[in-house]
Structures are given as C-alpha cells and as structure tokens.
Amino acid sequence: MRFTSRTSSDGVTEQFFTLDEIPGVLWTPEGAVGTRPLILLGHGGRQHKTAPHTVSRARRYAAEGFAVVAIDAPHHGDRPQNEEFGRIAAGMRAGMAAGENPGALVAGMHSYLAGQAVADWQTVLTAVQRLDQVGVGPVGYCGMSMGCGLGIPLIAAEPRIRAAVLGLLGVHGLAEDAARITVPVQFLVQWDDQLVPRDQGLALFDALASTEKTLHANPASTGMCRRSKWRVRCGSSSGI
C-alpha cells in the first residue's frame, strides 16, 4: 500500500493511497493508535471514492472513532475504462431508453463489475487491517445502489464483514448471494422509487438470510433522494 497524500482537519486524517493499481482513501481519527472498527464505503454508479456525500459520511464516522475506507470501483473514478465496459454501459443506456427492464440491465452491469470489485475489496481490507491505526477489529460494509450490487457478493464471500447497510436496489441477479448473507443488515427502500420497483427492493430484502435485519422505507422517489438523503447510519448495525 503506497500512500500518496496525507491531510488532517477537524480531528480527521485523510490519506489517499494506491494498492495494486486500486486507488482509495482512508479516513481515521487524527492521531489514531490501535485497533478500531472499520467501515468499507461502496459508492454508487457513475460516482467515485471522493463523491461529496461519500466524503462527508466518511469524515463523520472517522470523527466518531471509526476507520473508514473507500475505493474506486472498477472502471470508475481514477481507474481506466476498457472497451468492454464502454460497450456494456452503452447497451445499458440504450436499453433503458428503449423501455427495457432497468433492473435486469443494471444487474448485467453489476455482474460484470462484481468479480473484480470483490477481489479489490478483499485485497484492500487485508492491507488496511495491517495498519497500526486500524488493526484487526470488527468490519462493516455500507453501500447503496451500485454499492449494494457490488457489496452483496462481497459480503457473501468475505467472513470478516460482520454487519452491513445496503439498499436502493432490486433483487435481479443477487438472490443467490443474498441467501448466503447471515450478518445483521439494515436495508433501505425508497417506497416510490422511479428506478427500482418496490417489489424488487422488498424481494432483495426477503432474499437476505440474516435473522437480524431491518427495513427502512422512505417515501421519496427522486434521484437526489435516492443518492444523497438516505438516513441509515452505517455505524449503527450490530457487530460494528
């Protein structure tokens, strides 16, 4: 892990890094020493590790004592995009414009990204837990929309993750992995979501095998509410 910059303000230290060509950011309490809970933040589609709402949440959690890490998903942010990704993205946009099922189209994109994203997160998690200011403490994952679509296969594959906050996504392509998740989960649904039909979001919640899971519904339907105004706190689930 190679740190490329370090700044501190308002009691939080922010460090940019690269690891095996994975760009990321680590936030910790200023002067942090010793083991602490770690939150992995997964960003949404067409976003990146330093999207404003990602940074604001990360800084808030770090100020409360957590370590927080975010990385650019494959083909997002500072990562290069290959021709196949461009073709899949163009096909998804064209399909949506033609009125095709958006859930199935989005699921196809997430399936393409998930294999590399899971491996990236596991590599970063291992490296971050070796740092003196993080250590091997409890780990949680927080991701909405694409962050949920890539987070569910990660949580299903990664036993170090002990709690999660997920949502704003339907069940397409995720039922099998969701059935392997048994950690506590808070799940967000926009009740009148224009992109994710209510029944699809509820079906994904039902597919989670967790015995400790809660559903949080918000009546909002606009894109802005979906992306930036959800109220579930990533640090509040059991186990972290």
3-state secondary structure of 187: strand
> Each residue of 176-225: pLDDT tens digit?
999 999 999 999 999 998 889 999 999 999 999 999 999 999 987 644 33
Q: H-type helices in 158-234, by residue range?
A: 175-178, 198-207, 223-228
> Each residue of 123-138: pLDDT tens digit?
999 999 999 999 999 9
Domains and CATH numbers, the chain: 2-168 (3.40.50.1820)
3-state helix, strand, coil in the chain (%, to 5): 40, 25, 40
List the pLDDT tens digit at each of the 240 positions of the chain: 999 999 999 999 999 999 999 999 999 999 999 999 999 999 999 999 999 999 999 999 999 999 999 999 999 999 999 999 999 999 999 998 998 988 999 999 999 999 999 999 999 999 999 999 999 999 999 999 999 999 999 999 999 999 999 999 999 999 999 999 999 999 999 999 888 999 999 999 999 999 999 999 998 764 433 433 334 555 444 344
Cα separation, 186 vs 213, whole angstroms: 6
Contacts 24+ apart (CB under 8 A), 85-88: 85/112, 88/112
